[in-house]
Amino acid sequence: MFRFRKQLLPLLFLLLTLPAAALAEKGMAVDPMECLGCHGDKISAEKFGTSPHGRNGCTSCHPEGADLLRHMTGRVKLEKVQCGRCHQQEHAEHAGSVHEAKGIGCAGCHADIHAVTGWRQDKRVVLRKCIGCHPQQREFLGSVHGRAVLAGSRDAADCSDCHGLHAVRKVQSPATNEGRMFHTSACIRCHADEEMMARNNVSHTAVETYLESYHGKGYRLGFPERAAGCSDCHTAHLVLPGEEPASTINRSNVVKVCTPCHSAATPLFARYYAHGSHADRENYPILYWTYIAMTGLLVGTFAVFWVHTLLWMFRGFVENREKQAALTEGRLHHVAEGGKLYYRFQKRHIFLHFTVIISFLGLSLTGLPLKFSDQLWAKTLMSFYGGVHYAGLIHRGCAILTFYYFLGALLMSVDFLFIRKDIRGNFLQRMFGPDSLMPNLRDARDVAGMVRWFLFKGKKPTFERWTYWEKFDFIAVFWGMFAIGGSGLMLWFPELFGRFLPGWMMNVATIIHSDEALLATGFIFTVHFFNTHGRPEKFPMDFVIFNGQMTREEFIEERGDQWQRYEELGITERFSVARPSGVLYDFLFKGFGFAALFTGLTLVFFMLYAFFS
C-alpha cells in the first residue's frame, strides 16, 4: 500500500503541473523538484541544489528523463551518465588514463556526484581521494610535500601534480627510458618555477645545478637510462630534508643512495656536491674560485690570440696586395728552383698528427653536445650516436688515442734530447737549440718583431725551424693533458679516485674538464686553423702536415733562418724530396683535411650559436 502511494504521488503531482509536462514533451528540462519527488530519499535536495550540477538540473545529465510521463510509466529508462558531454577535456584526458583502462570511471573519484562541491584548489581533497585507493602510499603524508599539503599549501605537490588529475598514466618502470624521464620531469615541473620556490623558501637552483651535472645533461638530451634522476636520490614519495635522520640525503644514508649506480662508493666519494653551484661563492667557495680561474684563463687566452689573429689577418691581406703589385710591376724576387720540394716532417710526425686530428675531432664531436646539452644540434648529434652512453664510449676511445699520441710526443722528446746523433750539443743546447720546441729568448724577439710588422713598424721576422705559435701549440699539449687528461680520468673512474679524494673534487674536475675542453676546441678551430691554414699566404689549407713536403720558395720565405743555417752546415740537400707524393695520396688526404677543417668550423658555428641564442 505504501509502495503504491509512493508511485502515485508523483503522477498526481505531474497531472497538477501540466505546463511542466508540456515542456517535457518538447525535450526541455524540467524542475529538479519533480525528480526529487521520487528520488528525494536518496538525493539531498539541499546538497544537490548547492552543487555545481544543481544549476543545470537533473535532465542535463539524464536527458531521457525529460519526458516524465514515459519515464514514470517505465517506457524510458535512464541510461549511464555520459559526463564527457559537458566535461569534454576531462573526458578526453581520462579516456587514455590508467584509471579508464582499469574500469575506474568518473564516479570512482566523484562518488557522491549529486552532492559534489568541487575541490576549490584544496589539495587535501585530492590527497584524501588518492590515498583512499592507494593506501600503500600513505608514507607520502609524512614527506615535505605531504606535510605542506595537509597544512593547506596550494604550492606543495599533491598526487595530481606529479601524476595528473585526469590523464593519469601508468608509472613506467625506472628501468625504461620513459620511466626515468618521468621520475625527473615530474619534479622539474614545479622546482623550475623560481617564483613558487621563492615564496616557499626553497632553493631555486636545484633544477639548474642538476641540469648542469652529467646526470642532468643525460636527462636533457633525452637519454636518462644511465643517469640518476631526482627520485633516485630523493625517492618518489618520502622526500625529506637532509637534516632528518630518515632522509635519503642525510649524510648517514647518502652512501646507500649512491651504491645502486656506484657500487664501490665510499663516504669520501659521497661528499660529492649533488647541487653544488660555482655561482654560490658563500657555500661553494672552491667551485667558485675554480670557475673564476678557468674563466680568466679562457678570456685571457682568447683575448690575446684573437687580437693576434685579427692583426695578422689584416696585415697579411696588405702584404698579399703588395706582392701582387710587385708581380705586376716586375719587382717580385723569384727564388731559383722555387718549386723544388724539401721534407719538413717525417712519416712518424705525419702519422702522429693524423692521430691527433682523429682523436681531437672525436672528443669534440662527442663532448660538445654535453657542454651545450640544451641545444637542438646537441640532441641531434647524441641521437646520431645512439645516446649518451655510446657517445661516452666513443669519447673514451678517442681519449685513449690522446694518451697514445701524448706518449708518442714524450718518446720523441726523449729521443731528441738524449738519443739522436744528428743533433749537436749537450742537453741544454738541445733543449734550447734551434731544432727544439722549447721556448727561448729568440721567441720573445720574434713576437716583438711580428707585432711591429702588424703595426707597419718593421719587416716580417724570418723564422727558424719552429715559430713561437707552433711552440705554443706543442706546449699546450702538455698543459692540456694535465688539465683535460687528469680531470677526464677522474670523471672516467670516479669510484677509484673517490677512495682517496673527497667527492667534491669531481665537481672541480667537471669545471676544469668542461672549460679546458672549451678552450682547446675554441683555440684549435679558430686560432690554430688560422695560423696554419687561414692566413692569407696559406688559405685555404697548408698541406705540409699531410705529406711533409714544402717548396724551396716556401722554405726560404717562411723559415729563412733555418734555410740559412742548413746552407751553412751544408745539409740542405739531405732534406730534398726524391719523389713527390702521389696524386691519389694527395687527393685522399686533402679530402680528409678539408673534411676535418669543415667539421671544426661547423662546431665553432654551433658553439657561437649556443652562446648567443
pLDDT in tens, 299-348: 999 999 999 999 999 999 999 898 888 877 777 677 888 899 999 999 99
Question: What is the mean pLDDT of the segment spanning 28-51?
Answer: 75
Beta carbons within 10 angstroms of residue 4's beta carbon: 8
Residue 454 has pLDDT above 60, yes or no: yes
**Mutual angle of helices 376-385 and 388-414, in 10-degree steps:** 80
pLDDT category of residue 25 using cuts at 50, 70 and 90: very low
pTM of the model: 0.86
Mean pLDDT for the chain overall: 89
Q: Of 466, 483, 469, 575, which is closest to residue 524 (Cα–Cα)?
A: 469
Q: Write the burial class of residue 311 (CB in 10 Å: 0-12 exposed, 13-18 middle, 19+ buried).
A: middle
Query: Which residue from 537, 536, 539, 535 is spatially nearest to 553, judged by alpha carbons?
Result: 537
pLDDT in tens, 336-384: 888 999 999 999 999 999 999 999 999 999 999 999 999 999 999 999 9
- Tell me the CB-side half-sphere exposure of residue 28, using CA atoms within 13 A: 7
In the prediction, which pLDDT does 375 show?
96
- List the one residue out of 21, 1, 25 whose CA is nearest residue 10: 21
Residue 506 in contact with residue 490, Cβ under 8 Å?
Answer: yes
Instruction: Please enumerate in sequence order all residues whose Cβ is within 8 A of that of 132, keeping only pairs 6 or more positions apart, or say none.
Output: none
H or E, element range at 342 = strand 341-343
Tally of CB atoms within 10 A around 507: 23
Q: How far apart are CA 439 and CA 78, in angstroms?
A: 96
Alpha helices in 157-284 (DSSP H): 159-163, 177-191, 194-199, 206-211, 214-220, 230-234, 254-258
Contacts of 157 (CB under 8 A, 6+ apart): 145, 149, 190
Residue 506: how many other CB atoms lie within 10 Å:
23
Query: Which sign, positive or negative, has the C-alpha torsion 119, 124, 130, 133?
Result: negative
